[in-house]
Chains A and B, each alone.
Chain A
């Protein structure tokens, strides 16, 4: 392994690889990515890979909007020989109560102001767009046809390959175990395979980010929360948009090979890293799915797994430098890091390079938690 670098990115998920690619493009010559396992071992390889702009805070809307523009041209932009499988089949948001409907309406007003093409739907529209959906309890619904999905393995692979072409070295099976700090500035990263001197470090470890911060004596309020998900046998295409249901806190989408990816957020999930799958989850999921899509009753589940969200106190990303530790930067998507990774990679690389950022990321600095300047994202499941 090399002994020195200009900048070290920790974490080989979609954000780490996108950040490394953008760092190389902004002129850093010796960029290194350190990943303790293989690429996509973390949440990126476990996520539902849904991509949406229908958020309830301005920054989440803007970062996702910018990211969609990147996804639209990603194969060409990264000169990827394969296909990142970006599909814009829309995200259909469903609510069963007046309270959730009011949230959707608020969000819609914000999204319209930011130029995101979202439509409010009648029940008949829902029936037409997604005939498989049981509309009995639906109160209100919106759709954005620019939203969609991509293949998270391929997106990460595309960024990693493009980064390597620009000279980035990616070391897999290399775990960061500590740092060398001098006078409050990062001097070196310590790993199980030796030490790399570097003045700059980007923490892109998602749900593990807190542990990296701990090694630097920094208390990061981003907590790991387990999220479980299942995949079914492949079916003939029958559901175009991803269907997100705020009552059930669930999402269901048909992916490119015909399988259904389905999950929900359990509001009682305790904090912590936990890769086990629970029977209770799949049991509740089955009930939620049969209620929403009666025609899926006989569909077979073939695999069930778990991954994590890194939850920030306001549900928004945490980006940019950490005051008090010179050379230490955060690139954390916080629960929606896959869909935001193209822009997070760009924004954090700009911040590290001292360039003007495409969007004002100061708002998403770690400092907001101390100052109490939280703007809470309402539209998460």
Chain B
């Protein structure tokens, strides 16, 4: 993957930026998530999770299977307040 490839689309992070965080000594999935925001956007890591695992595995010389993932949390798919509360949603985003 080239340095300029976008790894996390929601938070607009490139492979290079993630490699820099790893080089600065942040080694786990949770740690990198917390400093870079990777995986914290609307899709909650659907694409970037795998890429980050690969980067961490390559940097650590281990297999991606050996790396702990961050927790999947509800609601897993974005859902708006009106739908949750069971009230009418506005037609336009007022």
Residues on A facing B (Cβ under 8 Å): 37-41, 45, 82, 153-154, 157, 231, 233-234, 257, 277, 282-283, 285-287, 289-290, 294-305
Contact = CB atoms under 8 A, between A and B. Distances in A.
B60 interface: no
B84 A40 contact: no
A41 B30 contact: yes
B94 A301 contact: no
Contact of B87 (A40, A45, A290): A290
A41 B37 CA distance: 15
Contacts of A82: 35
Nearest to A81: B24
- Residues of B in contact with A, size category: 20 to 34
A337 B34 CA distance: 19
Interface in B13-69: 28, 30-31, 34-35, 37, 40-42, 44
Contact of B78 (A38, A233, A296): A233
B73 interface: yes
A303 B44 contact: yes
Given A290-B85, A297-B87, A304 B75 contact: yes
- Taking each of B35, B37, B42, B81, which has the highest tally of chain A beta carbons within 10 Å of its own beta carbon? B81
B90 A298 contact: yes
B36 to A, nearest CB: 10
A360 B90 CA distance: 54
Contacts of B80: 297-301
Given A154-B35, A233-B42, A297-B89, A303 B81 contact: no
Contact of A300 (B28, B35, B71, B78): B78
30 contacts: A38-B31, A39-B31, A40-B34, A41-B30, A82-B35, A153-B34, A231-B40, A233-B42, A257-B37, A277-B74, A286-B82, A287-B85, A289-B81, A290-B87, A294-B94, A297-B81, A297-B89, A298-B89, A298-B94, A300-B78, A300-B79, A301-B78, A301-B80, A301-B81, A302-B41, A302-B44, A302-B78, A303-B40, A303-B73, A304-B75
Contact of B93 (A298, A302, A305): A298
Sort A-B residue pairs by CB-CB distance and give the 9 closest, nearest first: A300-B78, A286-B85, A286-B84, A153-B34, A286-B81, A297-B82, A287-B85, A304-B74, A300-B80
Contacts of B75: 282, 301-304
A300 B87 CA distance: 14
Contacts of B89: 297-298
- Taking each of A39, A285, A286, which has the highest tally of chain B beta carbons within 10 Å of its own beta carbon? A286
Given A40-B34, A153-B34, A304 B81 contact: no
Contacts of A37: 30
A39 B71 CA distance: 16
B10 to A, nearest CB: 9
Nearest to B93: A298
A211 B82 CA distance: 41
A16 to B, nearest CB: 16
A275 to B, nearest CB: 8
